[in-house]
Structure formats: structure tokens, C-alpha cells
Amino acid sequence: MSERQEQDMHTDASRAFTTLVTGASAGIGFQVAQRLATTAPGPLVITGRNQARLDEAVASLQGRSGGPVRGVVCDQRHRTSIDQLLEALHGLPPVLQLVANVGVNPVHQQGPGRTHSTDYALFADTLTTNVTHTFYLLSRLLPAMRQARAGRIVLVGSMAYRHGLPGQVSYNVSKSALVGLKNTIVSEYGAAGIGCHLVNPGIVLNERTERLRRRLPAAEQPLPLTEAQVAEAIVSLLADANAEPRGRELDL
């Protein structure tokens, strides 16, 4: 975080804030949380679907954090689970720094399938998790950011939507929707000191993408893209005191 951001966000004691990273018990989200744990000026809250993995992540982060670290089980497929997350945030300083990292891609479990054979319920479930409930979480956090006249948001998208990666229409469409969400947040709240950015990674080298990379070798990056590289880009955007008027859309 830059000196300018610290000044903006800490003009008085009431500006102490919470950092929230969703989907952070492993992978890119955990890599982001590792980096933010050493710099976050207040509580760090991470979410995940599995309690045991979340507990392990919190224990690892606690040793490197200057402030409290809390893990909250949250399955973003369900709005009630997001409500439980919001309830768990009560009593903490307002969330003024958010990395919205949750995103499901059914192709990792089921393999690619063309648009004509994609199940409607699967398509709808993917959009609900990746878009509708991301919107819902943001809509509940934005009032506190407006009141503080400060906020940094990074949405995690994907390069898949730009290329229309074959076999994963639901994921491609869901990630394209984040462009409109990011632009709307900036146009509506940018004047209130709230910045919103979108990071679009290519296919990341990890266990979750192994099946996809095996089936679609042409989708491999010319240079391997690691989870750590994506995390560094996200944290750099959070620390950008000179945010562009409409936020940045960063393709990796």
C-alpha cells in the first residue's frame, strides 16, 4: 500500500479497515492473502468452502500478519452463505479493501462441452456464483465504502472470455460480465474515492487447470503463468494510488 493510500484511509481512528479476500484457503486467493497479511493495517478476513483447509490457511497467515486473521466459511453459490459472511464481519472495522476472487468453472470437473450441449442449470449456476453473488457481496459492502469515501476493489476475471475459449461457455460469459460490473462501480462510485480494477489471468499452472490444459494444449501460455504472478498483479493494483478514472483492466 502506498503512502498516499495510507494517508487517505487513515485520516483518523475511524478509518481503520478490514481487508477481505474471498476464495483464499488455497490457490491465487491464498497467495494474495499471504502478501496482504504483512501490510494490511487492520483485520484480514479470508473465505473458503472447506473448514479444515480454511483453518490451515489462517494458521499459516497468522504467523506473518501484524493484525488479526479470521477465516469464514462461505460458499458463494448460496446467497444465505454470503449473508452469514456479512454477519461475521459485524463488529470489525468496515471492509475498505476487497479481492473478489471466487469463481467456479465446471469444465475442471466435467471437461469441456460445446454451447449446444451445455446444461441450462449448470450455465445458470455458474453465472449465479461468479456474477450475481459477486454483485450481491459488493452491493452490501459499498455503503460502508461510500461513508468512508475510500475503497479498493479487485475483481478476478479471466482471459477466457476474450478468446471465447471453446468448451466453457458458462465460464466465458460469467467473466465477461465482470467488465460491466467493474466499469459501473467506477462510474458510480469513483468520485467517492472508491477504485475498482479487473485482473484477467490466462490459464494458470495449477492442479485445478491440469485437466483443461491436457484437453486444450493450444490454450497453454507461451510463458507459464503462476499463481504467485497473478497474486503480485492483484496486490500491485490495490496499492496503485494513481488509479485510472475508470479503473484498470489488466490482462496477464
Averaged over 200-226, what is the pLDDT? 62
Kindly report, residue by residue over 51-66, the tens digit of the pLDDT. 999 999 999 999 776 7
Flag whether 60 is in a domain. no
Flag whether 26 is in a domain. no
- Give the C-alpha separation, 101 to 186, whole Å: 18
Residue 6's pLDDT band (cuts 50, 70, 90):
very low
Whether residue 171 lies in the annotated active site: yes
Flag whether 30 is in a domain. no
Q: What is the pLDDT of residue 109?
A: 76
Q: Which residues, in sequence order, are bridge partners of residue 153?
A: 98, 196
CATH code: domain of residue 188: 3.40.50.720
Is pLDDT at 217 greater than 70 in this prediction?
no
Flag whether 70 is in a domain. no
From the candidates 136, 161, 171, 189, give the one annotated as an active-site residue.
Answer: 171
User: Could you tell me which of 123, 119, 101 has the C-alpha nearest to residue 35?
Assistant: 101
Give how many domains the chain has, as a whole number.
Answer: 1
- Lowest-confidence pick of 65-69, 133-137, 194-198, 226-230: 65-69
- Bigger pLDDT: 160 vs 13: 160
Range of the domain at 9: 3-16+35-41+99-251
Q: What is the pLDDT of residue 2?
A: 44
Averaged over 98-119, what is the pLDDT? 90
Flag whether 86 is in a domain. no
pTM, rounded to two decimals: 0.88
Q: What is the pLDDT of residue 8?
A: 47
**Quick one: angle between helices 120-127 and 169-189, nearest 10?**
30
Averaged over 141-161, what is the pLDDT? 95
Averaged over 232-248, what is the pLDDT? 80
Flag whether 241 is in a domain. yes
Q: What is the pLDDT of residue 3?
A: 44
Flag whether 113 is in a domain. yes
Flag whether 78 is in a domain. no
Is pLDDT at 166 greater than 60 in this prediction?
yes
- Give the C-alpha separation, 23 to 54, whole Å: 10
Residue 224's pLDDT band (cuts 50, 70, 90):
low
